[in-house]
A and B are shown apart, each in its own frame.
Chain A
Amino acid sequence: MANGNGSIILELKNITKRFGDLIAVNDISFSVEKGKLVTFVGPSGCGKTTLLRMVSGFAEPDDGEIILDGQNVTKKSPNARDTAMVFQNYALFPHMTVAKNIGFGMKIRKKSRDEINKEVKRLLALVKMEGLGERRPHELSGGQQQRVALARALSLNPKILLLDEPLSNLDANLRINMREEIRRLQRRLGLTIIFVTHDQEEAMSISDLLVVMDQGVVKQVGSPTEVYKKPSDEFVANFVGHINFFPGEVIAFSGDEMDLKIAQGNLKVKRPSSPVSIGNRVKLVVRPESIDLVDARNELAGIENVIEGHIEVAMYIGSIIRYTIRAGDQTICVDKADPQHSDIFQEGSRVKLTLKKEIHMFKA
């Protein structure tokens, strides 16, 4: 495969890893394109870090192959692989200065001192740490340590940069700044990055491609929008953001629309791309922000997909207000952006909810 934009740099083929009886990674295959930022995301224990460690070479898969830039590196040790890792706690060498830390890999490769000095200077500038080369790691803040770790990883021009929960040790504001910076750096230098995180918001905001994992298997691979709008199953839907599920049954088709029966009444929705037939049980997936809300006293003539309910809890979170609404046996979560005083429903008031016609669903 030729190098160039859009070409495959990393390919995982049927990777499996066991720890005793536990299958940490189960038959995972996918590939990473050059210049993309791919995120492994999932709850703790889902196997994302194990998968990353297999890419870097710190763990060896029991089955499967890892192809890096056309070469099978499955059995290669980490020091013989063209990958570089930024560790969760940065793993800076505490007995070396910042400059020595960054230059370590080049020194191991026996580069000349001038070359190392020049490169270290360039890298320090790249991560905005000019003039701090003589500091020791313990004299730096968390964010600064993070930058040093990044510079050190970049020093060897790796084919892939691996980031293992790099932001989890920073406080909230810094975390957002750092992730934007990593993204900018990645775009500017055309880096290929694999990023591991358990934070779905972080994953959504930074990635070109999400790999959602759970219990050792890949649940969905897709762009952040795809994963958010069209989750492949209940787990993914739940994992990325808030969600409402409506279990229902297909009762009739009319053109490109179909009728569904749910607990709160009948709905008319667009037919999904996957084939369904009458009598199929499905699960509708509706994000809280895609439900309209009006006072129950309003007449909604000619409008379909209306459910009635009453507000149980109204929670004001600043940019949005989040209602928990009881409709029949179910509670439904609805977000309203930019709440103005007039729109705010009091707890206990009766409301009408309107669902859109285009609703993502999967078979129950």
Chain B
Amino acid sequence: MSIFSRHHFFQNLVSDTQHFLRSPGLVAVTSVAWILLLLFIVFPIGAVLLKSFTVNFPTVTIISQNNLSSETESEKRVTQTILTALKPLEGVEEIRPTTTEKSSVVVIRFRTVWDDIRGLNDAKRALKKADENLSPYVEKMDFKLGQETIKSFATYISFFSKKYYYEALRNSIVLAITTTVLVVCIAFCFAYLGLKGPRIIRGPLRLLGLLPLIAPPFLFALSLIVMGGRQGILTKAFMLPFHIYGWPGVIIAQVITFLPLGYLMIENVLRSLNPNLDDAASDMGASEIDIFFKITIPLAIPGILKAALLVFIISIADFGNPMLIGGGVSFLATKAYFLWISESNLEMSAVFCVFMVIPSMIIFIVHEYIIKGKKYTTIGGKPQQTEKRKISLKIFSPMMAITTPVSLMIVFCFGIIFVGAFTKILMIDNSFTLEHFESPNGIRSLMNSLRFAFSSALIAPIFGVTLSYILVRRRIPFKRVLEFVALLGFAVPGTVMGIGYIIFFNSPPLKLTGTFAIMVINEAFRNLSVGLEAGMSKLHQIDIAIEEAAIDMGASSFKVFTRIVLPLISSALVAGFLYTFMVGMIAVSAVIFLISPGNHLASLYILSVAEEGFLGMACAISVMLIIVVLACLGTLKLLAQYTKSAIF
């Protein structure tokens, strides 16, 4: 946009709009898309934002029906008496009297966190004391509980003034920084050794670096609990005086969970480095250590930074790991959940959400509009296939010292889940059993999960791919805004989307909370971006001339879409379906706010049985989820191979 003047911007907007309005079909489809996106992405997020700026006060309204003969004066006197009686009340913010004909109405507004029932009883008691002054005039007295909502910064102020709240933000930032640093270092070692290490360890390191991808997001927390929890096998076996809950548990669990993310990005940038550069440096007398610190690391910095940013935002918004293994330490996402579920303090939850959204929004915008599309490697030409250099021991040994324990940990975590799933009670009764797989609740939740994941996986890619076609191929006004909004559902943390849905869909005409549909809609709209991005990249590969050829042959826009475009981008649809399905199977953070009795999901069921101590059952359901995820990944891989070999 920067190369265009403002004048051009408006000129383009006008001509785009004129062009757009000429095809009614396009207008219809685009309008529907906008409505859905506004309803299911923008408004819920907006609702969270608005909510964070409101304060709710409990109120008690006293309506006294007066019985006065003629003196209008005494209406006021009754009100005055009530006011005097209420003076000693505790927790009062404001008392507002209004006097109408034959009745006195007094509204008592209590402080935000004041218990309204206590306020009501206090008020009743106070008025009873003044009974003698009132009873002659009062025919009937009614008390009503209520709420008053006011726009204010009060919730933010109380967030920063109470450690109870702000420590969650501080903890989450400390956690995110720690996790990011650890993930980047470990992922770098995995990636470096996986590419340049001795041949025998390359394969296993690549596999281990990616293995955590197939795990439900809290699997590692679960296996850490099995090992080092209060009843953990290691805790018991060695009579350890401590357990894994709290900081160490969350950090280890997050590091392993997010390792593949860092690994993928860093491996990508390391792979793109031209090996000739190493040769050149070596030719000029640089040692292996020199090459590593002066060539490899500086060139890999962009990839490392990108990985760090991503890990940071995902860590700060993570729900599953802190939920399961966080112990008494409070973090943003979990605290937001507890504020809602146990204190009903949606306003404070909303404030927590705002603090989770800010970092991810900043990074999302930076990524979408600054980094995207820029190439990092500055070396042109085809990298020459050279003899791979032998890795120096000075680099190899410290890296091995890092990767080995992490690898063992990953293997052990998976192992313990599988062992735990087939063992009666680990360390107590080590006999083989299948009973954990047979719990009816577990199976029911798994069926629910399948239903849930399948439904959302049907909606998301169809909508996403259709959107991608409009965005890539059609001239519509505000195209960039539409794309931004569609990707927003993915960029905003699940906890925020969950709370947003609760706030926005809790009142008529869109009262959807408590239904299965709202869970599906939420999951689908959070995963729009998969079908959208896949569709867009596929469409960019397809020459527009192919569609023009069809138009030239007399096909209408609709025929072009159904006969030419859809068959060509069907792989994007299938990829979108499988991915959304997979993610749906292991979803936690948003749906936990939306589940209702009877709609329990496997991933959440694991959480609850693990908290209740039925670890075997938790392991068994995890194993089933892993199998489903593996099946999806396998199909995706087959699909990728198929589409590469055929057609294109």
Contact = CB atoms under 8 A, between A and B. Distances in A.
Nearest to B544: A91
Contact of B546 (A79, A80, A83, A93): A93
A98 to B, nearest CB: 14
B554 interface: yes
A98 B567 CA distance: 16
Interface string A147-183: 0000011011000000000000000000000000000
B549 A93 contact: yes
A155 B545 CA distance: 18
Interface string B55-68: 00000000000000
A95 B555 contact: no
Given A88-B545, A91-B543, A91-B548, A104 B568 contact: no
B379 interface: no
Contacts of B548: 58, 78, 85, 87, 91
Nearest to B548: A58
Contacts of B546: 91-94
A105 B647 CA distance: 21
A108 B548 CA distance: 14
Given A95-B568, A108-B555, A85 B549 contact: yes
Interface residues of A, number: 28
A96 to B, nearest CB: 8
B556 to A, nearest CB: 6
A56 B553 CA distance: 11
Contact of A91 (B549, B556, B559, B567): B549
B550 interface: yes
B554 A91 contact: no
Interface in A58-105: 58, 77-80, 83-85, 87-89, 91-95, 104-105
B549 A108 contact: no
A135 interface: no
Contact of B553 (A94, A105, A136): A105
B648 interface: yes
A89 to B, nearest CB: 6
A155 B553 CA distance: 9
B387 interface: no
Contact of A104 (B8, B543, B545, B553): B553
B305 interface: no
Contact of A93 (B556, B564, B648): B564
B142 interface: no
- Dominant secondary structure of chain B at its interface with chain A: helix
B581 to A, nearest CB: 25
B568 A105 contact: no
B647 A78 contact: no
Most buried by A among B552, B555, B556: B552
B2 to A, nearest CB: 15
A357 interface: no
A87 B563 CA distance: 19
Most buried by B among A58, A104, A138: A104
A152 B546 CA distance: 12
Contact of B550 (A80, A104, A136): A104
Interface string B569-603: 00000000000000000000000000000000000
Contacts of A108: 553-555, 559
Interface string A230-249: 00000000000000000000
Interface in B8-40: 8, 11
Contacts of A85: 548-549, 552
B567 A84 contact: no
A108 B552 CA distance: 11
A14 B8 CA distance: 26
A110 B559 CA distance: 13
B552 A78 contact: yes
A20 to B, nearest CB: 7
Interface in B479-494: none
A152 B553 contact: yes
B551 interface: yes
Contacts of B550: 93, 104
A279 B76 CA distance: 114
A89 B543 contact: yes
B458 to A, nearest CB: 23
Nearest to B547: A91
Given A93-B564, A94-B568, A152 B554 contact: no
A93 B563 CA distance: 10
Contact of B556 (A79, A83, A155, A156): A79
Contacts of B8: 20
Interface string B522-564: 0000000000000000000001011011111111100100011
Contacts of B551: 58, 77-79
Nearest to B564: A93
B554 A156 contact: yes
Contacts of A188: none
Contacts of B543: 89, 91
B552 A56 contact: yes
A109 interface: yes
A91 B559 CA distance: 17
A324 to B, nearest CB: 35
A156 B563 CA distance: 19
Contacts of A92: 546, 549
A83 B553 contact: no
A145 B35 CA distance: 44
Contacts of A91: 543, 545-546, 548-549
A85 B549 CA distance: 7
23 contacts: A77-B551, A78-B548, A79-B552, A84-B552, A84-B553, A85-B549, A85-B552, A87-B545, A87-B549, A88-B545, A89-B545, A91-B543, A92-B546, A92-B549, A94-B546, A94-B647, A94-B648, A95-B567, A104-B550, A108-B555, A138-B648, A153-B552, A155-B553
Given A94-B546, A105-B554, 6 more contacts: A85-B548, A87-B548, A93-B564, A94-B647, A152-B553, A153-B552
Interface of B: 8, 11, 543, 545-546, 548-556, 559, 563-564, 567-568, 647-648
Top-4 shortest CB links A-B: A105-B553, A91-B545, A91-B549, A87-B545
Interface of A: 20, 56, 58, 77-80, 83-85, 87-89, 91-95, 104-105, 108-109, 136, 138, 152-153, 155-156
